[in-house]
Structure 1
Amino acid sequence: MKSLFETENQQSILNRIQNLNEISQPNWGKMDVAQMLTHCQKPLEVANGTLQLNTKIGFAKKLLFKLFKSTMYNNKPWQKNLSTVREFRITDAQDFTSQKEKLIHVINEFSQLKEKKCWPTHPLFGDFTTKQWGKMQYKHLDHHLTQFGV
């Protein structure tokens, strides 16, 4: 699996984002392109430590999430139309240009953390290594850029 910590993969993601425009249409899902750009910032902000999720889950669900943890960063593509946590759901109108610029900024911030050792604990999946964070963030961005055909 590719990682957002690898310069060529980061640049590929940034190039794909540049290929989006205000009328880019999704191949699946409910978000428009500006909402998707906003949504994609959220997991990066969790990893960067600038967003804390208040998601509380019980023991049984936590155990279930741990069973699926590797799907976050393995080589298999994510399924279309997966549900997401409440804090990542973007339903209100967003400004395309400002959200595109913000996503690029957040990606660049995250990509500078490849030497980081102490990451926030993910509220659903627990702890990830630096390598896993890089793969997971790449996979999430790739999933949504594919959703919009870039």
Structure 2
Amino acid sequence: MSASFLDPNAHAALVARIQTLTPDSQRQWGKMTVGQMLVHCADQLRVSRGEKAVTSLRIPGFLKPLAKWFFVTRLKSFKPNMQTLKELDSQVGMTSPTTFEADRQTLLDLLNPAKYSPSGVEHPVFGHLSHNELGEVTWKHLDHHLRQFGV
């Protein structure tokens, strides 16, 4: 089992890493600024919560278990410069950044484990994600982007 942002210890470690970011944090790869990365990660959580629609990718229901199996179960970590959904792309469809501090706080608010149902979520790409699956795939995504900025 991978780390999960829903686990209190892993959650505290992620929050501490997010808190070490500064507006001047430099990326190790990719195109996003640190502020864009905060919004990108918040948008990923908005998608998972059903608060941000995904219209750029339509996966037939019968293929969602395969996508989930690969990205949630088999993929150990995200690779630098992986393609993202249009709705999460900083150049195309991502929510516009505001200020560094406000965007960081938005991400931290969305990371509150109490906001997530023990029954999981209905994800537009993966179908039903259990509480554990949501926690693990979100942790992998956040870890990937925090490593992108050296934390």
Q: TM-score range by the shorter chain?
A: 0.7 to 0.9
Q: Which stretch shows the higher mean deviation, 76-85 or 49-58? A: 49-58
**Partner in structure 2 of residue 69 of structure 1:** 68
How far residue 68 of structure 1 moved from its aligned partner, in angstroms, is: 4.1
Output the amino acid matched with 1:149: G
Cα deviation digits, residues 67-113 of structure 1 (max 9, x gap): 342343346111110111111112366421111111111111xx114
Cα deviation digits, residues 33-83 of structure 1 (max 9, x gap): 000000000121122332232244264xx73x6434234334611111011
- Is residue 139 from structure 1 mapped to residue 140 from structure 2 by the alignment? yes
**Partner in structure 2 of residue 45 of structure 1:** 46
Q: TM-score, normalised by structure 1?
A: 0.84
The residue matched to 1:57 in structure 2 has which SS? coil
Aligned length, in residue pairs: 145
**Partner in structure 1 of residue 85 of structure 2:** 85
Q: 1:115 to 1:66 in 2, by over 3 A?
A: closer
- Is residue 15 from structure 1 mapped to residue 19 from structure 2 by the alignment? no
Q: 1:44 to 1:93 in 2, by over 3 A?
A: closer
Q: In the alignment, which of 101, 117, 120 is matched to residue 119 of structure 2?
A: 117
Instruction: Flag as ranges the 4+ runs of structure 1 deviating above 6 A.
Output: none
Output the amino acid matched with 2:132: K
- Structure 1 unpaired stretches of 5+: none
Kept in 1: contact 2:120–2:134 (CA 8 A): no
Kept in 2: contact 1:35–1:93 (CA 8 A): yes
Kept in 2: contact 1:22–1:96 (CA 8 A): yes
Output the amino acid matched with 1:70: W
Percent identical among aligned pairs is: 32
For 2:80 and 2:19, how far apart are their aligned partners in 1?
A: 23
For 2:33 and 2:27, how far apart are their aligned partners in 1?
A: 7
Q: 1:100 to 1:78 in 2, by over 3 A?
A: same
- Structure 2 unpaired stretches of 5+: none
